[in-house]
A and B are shown apart, each in its own frame.
Chain A
Amino acid sequence: MRSFIVKRVLLGILVLFGVILITFILTRVIPSNPAAQWVGQRATAEQIEAAKIELGLDKPLYVQLGRYLADLAKGDLGRSLRSHQPVSAELRAYLPATIELVLVSTIVAVIIGIPLGVASAKRKDHMVDHVSRFFSVGAVSLPTFWVGMFLQLIFYRWLELLPLGGQLSMSIKLTHEIPHITGFLMFDSLITGNFVVFKDALAHIILPGITVALYPIGLVARMTRSALLEILDEDYIRAARSYGLPERMVLWSYALKNSLGPTATVVALSIGYTLVNTFLVEAIFSWPGIGSYISSAVISLDYPAIMGVTIFSACAYVVLNLIADVIIALDPRVRV
């Protein structure tokens, strides 16, 4: 067990290094010209040369890689080509809004996805199963960006129930003091008892939250279904039934507890997907997170910013998967 965890952590570190290496190769080998970007469009050849030396691009590749790694180790992701601000500082400013969105949608996904999967497995090949399977496959087939617009159309334009976008209404922003403790707006407003702000923030997160949650709902439901179907075929389930245990207990306790491992993995996995999905959704809802940040970086070809978000998201994904694997391996009852 311990050796498995050590191996898994070592592999995780190797993978992290590989991720960084790939992003490095992307920035250096692909025919983009960071130096030209750095000095702007109308620069002379001399200026570009000077910029190359300034950015260390004249050095051999392995020296560049060394510097790149050293910078990364210090948390330095370079400077944005647009704002000339450190990317890491900008990321930090945009991150809380994204994390809030990801967390809310993941919680929603677990709350809806697991019962959906259980219902599906319980009545396999019946109507419930068909509907729930259709829904879960549908959820992973939806273009999230379009769903966001669709919801805006319905709830903002037609029903006039919910705000169009942003994290807070302008009027609230102007008339209320916005708490700033952890950077997580809903959390901060809740612990400071600022319920007006909290309510407004809640209204704002509903649409993007649902939009982002759809994909993980489908993922979690599908995984729960297939894991459960496998488990329901096990002898101990048949045995539990032969002891006359109520179906409720057999399904929700005996079977579901055994399927938590694969489900936990898929939740960890889906957080990674969700993070990337926010890239598409945040732009639509003017959500001030790293998704909006990367969308605008993509349009203006701000490579350090794109790279920064890429490295951050990939690392988050690797670490989440690592945690999921280790937690499962730590459980002494699970046969690895």
Chain B
Amino acid sequence: MTKSPGIINSIKPRIREIRLSLYLLGRNRLTRLSLGVVILLVLTALVAPFIVPYPEHIEAETNPVDKLLPPSGKYFFGTDELGRDIFSRVIYGTRISLQTALIAVGLALLIGIPLGAIAGATGGMVDEVIMRITDIFLSFPPLLLAIAIAAFLGPSLENAMLAIAVSWWPWYTRLIRGQAVSIRERQFVKAAKAIGTPPARIIFGHIVPNCIAPVIVQASMDIGGVILTIASLSFLGLGAQPPTPEWGLMVSTSRNYFLNAWWYSIFPGLAIFVTVLVFNLLGDGLREILDPKTRKI
């Protein structure tokens, strides 16, 4: 597909925008720090199986001799009720959490983007119907719908991802619709229409590529919230099932032991907290950087 003039014309201000963003990013220490930790987490997730001291403890392998040992040089985070190394399981949990969060957000985008683009590009009745449905989904408290859907689908990590996707897509639909409405009126879309490009080509070839950037940014900001939701579902027994080393599930199983083995619940919970925190800090910083109100300088 040839580049439309709309894209070419908007390159110059975009470069200025990017420079401004980098400048603002450079000024914000907290955001920079969280970006660093996020990168570190992603790397950890990628190499997790190769760096953990006890790879065999990731799944069901038990080691009853060493059960519920406090942290030591041998087991950094102690061991659980089956004698498994909590450090290895927490490190590996990074991989599970990031992976599931990515898939869940990806699924939500897969539903949200086409619906939003169609609503925004078509307008009229179609728009009205799609947006009212979106409103209804948005009027559930965030975690509630995921709990209900996961409960009905049956407890498993896959279903938890699906449940999160189903309760998350409306945010993206709403966002992309707003973008699509403004792009609909641009010259290159009108030109494409004038030469008889079929509506589907216009929506997915012209409108979606031009309004996807803010949605992707928003989606990356949502990763933290999604990780927390997955952990919460797992804690309720609606997500990962044993022996998966999922953080929420680990905290959940630790409930029977933690009063006498604090390390069992502290470390997986801390892992959730730190991961969600850095993603949220990064998201918060990005929001501030990209917010037109704070941008005016």
Contacts and interface: CB of A to CB of B under 8 A. Distances in A.
Report A-B touching, CB under 8 Å: yes
Contacts of A156: 259
B231 A230 contact: no
Given A138-B277, A149-B251, A295-B236, A313 B141 contact: yes
Interface of chain B: mostly helix, strand, loop or mixed: helix
B276 A18 contact: no
Interface in A259-310: 272-273, 275-277, 279-280, 283-284, 294-295, 298-299, 301, 303, 306-307, 310
A67 interface: no
Contacts of B293: 230
A22 B134 CA distance: 12
A307 B148 contact: yes
A273 B141 contact: yes
B39 to A, nearest CB: 18
Contacts of A134: 30, 281
Contacts of B139: 15, 18-19, 314, 317-318, 321
Interface residues of B, number: 49
A299 B145 CA distance: 17
A87 to B, nearest CB: 14
Given A15-B136, A149-B255, A314-B139, A143 B144 contact: no
Interface residues of A, number: 55
Given A18-B133, A19-B136, A149 B269 contact: yes
Interface string B123-150: 0000000001101110111111101110
Given A149-B258, A153-B259, A317 B141 contact: yes
A145 B232 contact: yes
A15 B138 CA distance: 9
B151 A15 contact: no
A18 B269 contact: no
A44 interface: no
Nearest to B293: A230
A143 B132 contact: no
Interface string B249-262: 00110110011001
Interface of B: 30, 132-133, 135-137, 139-145, 147-149, 151-154, 224, 228, 231-232, 235-238, 248, 251-252, 254-255, 258-259, 262, 265-266, 268-269, 272-273, 276-277, 279-281, 284, 293
Q: Sorted from nearest, which 5 A-B pairs have the closest CB atoms?
A: A18-B136, A146-B269, A141-B276, A141-B277, A272-B141
